[in-house]
Amino acid sequence: MTSISIVDIARAAGVSPSTVSRALRDHPRISRQKRTAIHALAQQMGYQPSQIARSLVTGRTKTLGIVISDVTDPFVAEVMKGAEQAGREAGYSLLFATSRRDPDQELLAARLLLGREVDGIIVISSRAAGHYTDLLSSNGTPLILVNHELNDRHAHSVRTDNRDGIEQAIAHLRELGHSRIAFVAGPEGGRSSRERLEAFQEAGSALGLLQFPEWVIAGRGLLEDGLTAFSMLAGLEQRPTAVMCYNDLTAIGLMAAAGEAGVRVPQDISVVGYDNIPISAFAMPALTTVDQPKEALGRTAVENCVRALSGEEVPDVILPGALVIRNSTSRCGPSNRGW
């Protein structure tokens, strides 16, 4: 049931593996007669030429390895989609491995891909960015970090401006008259989590918003976190009139919990998400959110990896986000006090 390797053919032919390898590449140092015989034997044995074996000669495989943090996160899926399109256009195949949001698993996934001789590595949402230096510097494989960065000459960053995104969202709520805004935070250890929370707190201070510690609620960026956050907020004596969420999944979960409890969005409470995943336009009500240029992140990551491979200087890239105003936010009014 195992696949046939060059070593197997060499054994059967009674020659060295390197002779088989050369014969299968039609190397002129191998006689035509021997080449024909080895080709015939390989075919008979069911040998499938391995891209890797070929790449031992060229040193390039035209394949990029992508480490993804969480297959069930629609944000990650949209970044992957952009990467796929750019890979196809540039003539590169993509291999994916997953980290399940775990720093150790992330490094294992990167090693797995490097072991398959990928030309470059892209990491979507790293938790272990600081640990790549040793892994990469020895052979100069380019590393592209999506929404992260690393001070290493082989590492390049493609991200969005979390601070600006949060500032746009909070300014929108402030314009609608909200001054009591809660925040449901993202997963611990994530760079975007930290940046969004810090930006929320700084915007709050700058705009003179009320800030209670119990208005910052822990989360992991999951639908379930929205449920938990809603019941925690509903249990407070001092309730907010609006909630800024780490991501859209959290916001959708929170809106569902509000609906269950008979609390109306946006009449009783305004809700803002982050990411603008496809389903958010179909939520009820349609979700106001900060759009991340997800496909552009994936596309730019692949394009810059290919540029780095061709020896070009590659700049770090920061793509702008943009607030998308839909129906989950409205003017703060009397009913906001009542829920």
Nearer to its own copies, 76 or 169 (CB): 76
| 14 binding its own copies? (CB under 8 A) | no
| 282 binding its own copies? (CB under 8 A) | yes
Q: Is the backbone peptide bond immediately before 266 cis, with ω within 30 degrees of 0?
A: yes
Q: How many CB atoms lie within 10 A of CB 96?
A: 17
Among 139, 208, 235, 313, the residue binding its own copies under the rule CB under 8 A is 139
Site for its own copies in 151-210 (CB under 8 A): none
CB of 50 to its own copies, least distance (A): 5
Among 37, 41, 112, 322, the residue binding its own copies under the rule CB under 8 A is 112
Strands 242-245 and 270-275: parallel
Among 24, 69, 74, 203, the residue binding its own copies under the rule CB under 8 A is 74
3-state secondary structure of 270: strand
Q: Name the nearest CA neighbour of 94 among 331, 299, 293.
A: 299
Nearer to its own copies, 31 or 48 (CB): 48
Among 24, 107, 110, 142, the residue binding its own copies under the rule CB under 8 A is 142
Site for its own copies in 211-240 (CB under 8 A): 223, 226
Please identify, among the stretches 91-99, 143-151, 155-163, 171-179, the one whose residues bind its own copies according to the rule CB under 8 A.
Answer: 91-99
Instruction: Give CA–CA dist 290/325, Å, rounded.
Output: 9
Q: Name the nearest CA neighbour of 192 among 220, 151, 214.
A: 220
What is the DSSP annotation of 149-211? Answer: ---STTEEEEEE-HHHHHHHHHHHHHHTT---EEEE---TT-HHHHHHHHHHHHHHHHHT---
Query: Is residue 76 a contact partner of residue 297, using CB atoms and an 8 Å limit?
Result: no
Please identify, among the stretches 113-121, 125-133, 180-188, 233-241, the one whose residues bind its own copies according to the rule CB under 8 A.
Answer: 113-121
Among 255, 287, 297, 332, the residue binding its own copies under the rule CB under 8 A is 255
Phi first, then psi: what are they for 94, rounded to 5°? -120, 135
Q: Is the backbone peptide bond immediately before 285 cis, with ω within 30 degrees of 0?
A: yes
| 101 binding its own copies? (CB under 8 A) | no
| 103 binding its own copies? (CB under 8 A) | no
| 261 binding its own copies? (CB under 8 A) | no
Size of the site for its own copies (CB under 8 A): 72
Site for its own copies in 284-313 (CB under 8 A): 284, 286, 308-309, 311
Among 283, 287, 301, 332, the residue binding its own copies under the rule CB under 8 A is 283
What is the DSSP annotation of 56-124? Answer: HHHS--SEEEEEES-TT-HHHHHHHHHHHHHHHHHT-EEEEEE-TT-HHHHHHHHHHHHHTT-SEEEEE
Please identify, among the stretches 112-120, 173-181, 186-194, 229-237, the one whose residues bind its own copies according to the rule CB under 8 A.
Answer: 112-120
Among 11, 36, 40, 51, the residue binding its own copies under the rule CB under 8 A is 51
CB of 88 to its own copies, least distance (A): 9
Cβ neighbors of 93 (< 8 A, separation 6 or more) are: 62, 63, 64, 87
Nearer to its own copies, 6 or 23 (CB): 6
Instruction: Give CA–CA dist 180/198, Å, rounded.
Output: 17
